[in-house]
Amino acid sequence: MSSQVLVVEDDRLTRVRLEERLSEAGYTVRPAEGVRTARRLLADAGFDAVLMDIGLRDGDGLQLLEELRGSAPNLPVIMVTGYGDSERTIRAMQAGAFDYVTKPFDLDALLQVLERAVRAPSAAPVDERAADPTPLVGASPAMLAVWKAVGRAAGSRVPVLITGESGTGKELVARAIHEHGPADRPFVPVNIAALPSSLVESELFGHERGAFTGAVARREGRFEAAGEGTLFLDEIADLELPLQTKLLRVLEDGGYERVGDSSRMESHARIISATARPVTPGPGSTLREDLYYRLAVLRIDVPPLRERRADIPLLVQAFLRQVGGPTRAVSEPAMAKLMAFSWPGNVRQLRHVLEQTCIMSTAEVLDASDFALESSQGAPAPAASPEAAPEDLNLRANLERVERHLIEVALERAGGNRAQAARLLGIRRALLYARMLQFGLRGED
């Protein structure tokens, strides 16, 4: 007997296309144009799989999915949708969707997913805890794969290793996994690279009073602080070998000792680690192979921004909203410029460039010329060495210095004429006046 598939899709054309193709492939298809019909048909049971759109005219497919997890936990549901946003993907995977396919979809790929679904019904656990969504942006196929992995990881306690270049969003991904997991548990981040190596052990495992010079009181370690929550070990590749051995033991049986104390402590924390360095076992990796496999039971690779340029417009919009102040937009040529750039510093760099540009320019529509991307930010410039940077790294203070300098130069070139200086600076006169007042500069109209 052929497998029965319920296709819930409100777009008639898509529905007919799916019906045709699935019937051809040997499935018995029952179409439903909305949540109401779907509920009615589902009452008859007998389905082997459900293909369901998320945004339905008479309701939300995600809600129906959640209902189904209660009433038919073994029925595989494949979500098909035009939305490509992270929150929905995570929620769908978490609510136990078998898989998630975005439109426009490749029918052959969809058939493969369906084939898998019918053969191996999933019984993913229901997870209804509503979490504060992390503002994660991205709808490229590469990031959808990441959101799916986040949804899956959130439903389990296995160690997760997140890899990816600097600034790709590894920490955000770690937080998203945590936030979509059990509520009211701590998220404890430890940046191993930021700690002096002599302190890493006591920071992680805690120490007994008098364990070493300076250990004036007993101190709780981060493992203990994490309790049943998440311990986020950032820059894990920087962990020194003796501590890798100690960490391996915690991963094996939860046991460890405080520094200067031999009694056994037990960790119940969920371990998420991250690194921008190569850690896959082999030459170049600083991680013990056995530790790698323990940490990377689930591995999530966050792709560099240049490999998912489709996310750039979404990120730009999100960051422009976050900057606050007047509503801003980016002109088409400017967006083209941003999309063509290689972004060696990934999302972090994109964010900084937008923040900086919003401070430097008051134009409502930011143009290509407002974004200086070529040389200075094209590659990690050697000139921008830590030594050459100013003592005080406060971005706003430094930008103010630059701004003041440029205004002075413009006023000088314009012979003190403020209207002309504003033109040279590409800002509105009112803003120039405000800045001049702020910086105590003088000029004339």
Ligand X SMILES: Nc1ncnc2c1ncn2[C@@H]1O[C@H](COP(=O)(O)OP(=O)(O)OP(=O)(O)O)[C@@H](O)[C@H]1O
Residues that bind Mg ion (CB under 5 A): 171
Q: What's the one-letter identity of residue 328?
A: R
Task: Give the pairing type, strands 264-266 and 255-257.
Answer: antiparallel
- Distance in angstroms (rounded) separating the CA atoms of residues 289 and 279: 9
Copy the structure tokens of residue 340: 């063509």
Could you give the CA distance from residue 442 to residue 417 in angstroms, rounded to a whole number? 10
Q: How far is the CB of 100 from ligand X (least distance, A)?
A: 17
**What is the closest distance, in whole angstroms, from the C-beta atom of residue 436 to Mg ion in the complex?**
40
**Which of 328, 351, 418, 435 forms a contact with ligand X (CB under 6 A)?**
351
Q: Give the count of beta carbons closer than 10 Å to the beta carbon of residue 28.
A: 14
Which lies closer to ligand X via its Cβ, residue 166 or residue 420?
166
DSSP state of 120: S
Contact with ligand X (CB under 6 A) among 67, 171, 240, 355: 171
Cβ distance to ligand X smaller for residue 52 or 136: 136
Least separation in angstroms between CB 162 and Mg ion: 9
Q: Between residues 62 and 136, which has the closer beta carbon with respect to ligand X?
A: 136
Q: Which of 42, 93, 172, 192 binds ligand X (CB under 6 A)?
A: 172
Q: Is 91 one of the binding residues for ligand X (CB under 6 A)?
A: no
Residue from 102, 156, 166, 331 touching ligand X (CB under 6 A): that is 166
Question: What sections of 155-219 are H helices per DSSP?
Answer: 170-179, 197-205
**Minimal distance in Å, beta carbon 348 to ligand X?**
4
Establish if 347 lies at the interface with ligand X (CB under 6 A).
yes
Could you tell me the smallest distance in angstroms from the CB atom of residue 313 to Mg ion? 24
Per DSSP, the three-state class of 7 is: strand
159 part of the interface to ligand X, by CB under 6 A: no
Q: Give the integer Cα–Cα distance in Å for 169 and 167.
A: 6
Interface residue with ligand X among 348, 404, 428, 429 (CB under 6 A) is 348
Of 147-155, 210-218, 344-352, 422-430, the segment contacting ligand X by CB under 6 A is 344-352
Helical residues (DSSP H) of 155-196, grouped into ranges:
170-179
Structure tokens at 16: 């007919």
**37 touches ligand X by CB under 6 A:** no
Cβ-based neighbour number of residue 210 at 10 Å: 12
Determine which residue in the list 168, 357, 361, 377 makes contact with ligand X, applying CB under 6 A. Answer: 168
**CB nearer to ligand X: pick between 355 and 408:** 355
Q: Please identify, among the stretches 159-167, 211-219, 362-370, 382-390, the one whose residues bind ligand X according to the rule CB under 6 A.
A: 159-167
CB of 129 to ligand X, least distance (A): 22
Closest CB to Mg ion among residues 96, 164 = 164
Return the number of the residue (136 or 231) whose C-beta is nearest ligand X: 136
Token pair of 192 as six digits: 């191993």
Residue closer to Mg ion by CB (options 171, 261) is 171
Tokens of 27: 């499935």
Of 180, 183, 187, residue with least CA distance to 89: 180
* Interaxial angle between packed helices 429-439 and 395-413, expressed in degrees from 0 to 180 and rounded to the nearest 10: 110
Nearer to ligand X, 31 or 169 (CB): 169
167 scored as a contact of ligand X (CB under 6 A)? yes
Site size for ligand X, by CB under 6 A?
18
Name the residue nearer to ligand X (CB basis): 156 or 166: 166
Output the smallest distance, CB 370 to ligand X, in A. Answer: 21
Name the residue nearer to Mg ion (CB basis): 250 or 272. 272
Tell me the three state secondary structure of residue 390: coil
Could you tell me the smallest distance in angstroms from the CB atom of residue 285 to ligand X?
17
CB burial string 381-408: b at 16+ within 10 A, e below: eeeeeeeeeeeeeeeeeeeeeebbebbe
C-alpha–C-alpha distance, residues 167 and 377, integer Å: 14
Under the binding rule (CB under 6 A), the answer on residue 31 touching ligand X is: no
Which residue has the closest beta carbon to ligand X? 169
Residue closest to 421 by CA, chosen among 398, 401, 441 = 441
- Cα–Cα distance for residue pair 93/86, rounded to 1 Å: 11
CA distances from 345 to 6, 192, 223, 356, 386 (A): 45, 21, 31, 15, 16
For the chain, helix (H) and strand (E) counts, in that order, are 18, 16
Q: How far apart are CA 154 and CA 180, in angstroms?
A: 6
Q: Give the x/- contact pattern for ligand X in 123-142, rule: CB under 6 A.
A: ------------xxxx----
| Shortest distance (Å) from residue 169 CB to Mg ion | 8
Give the nearer residue to ligand X in terms of CB position, either 279 or 363: 279
SS3 282: coil
**Distance in Å, CB of 189 to Mg ion, minimum:** 9
Binding site for ligand X (CB under 6 A): 135-138, 164, 166-172, 276, 315, 318, 347-348, 351
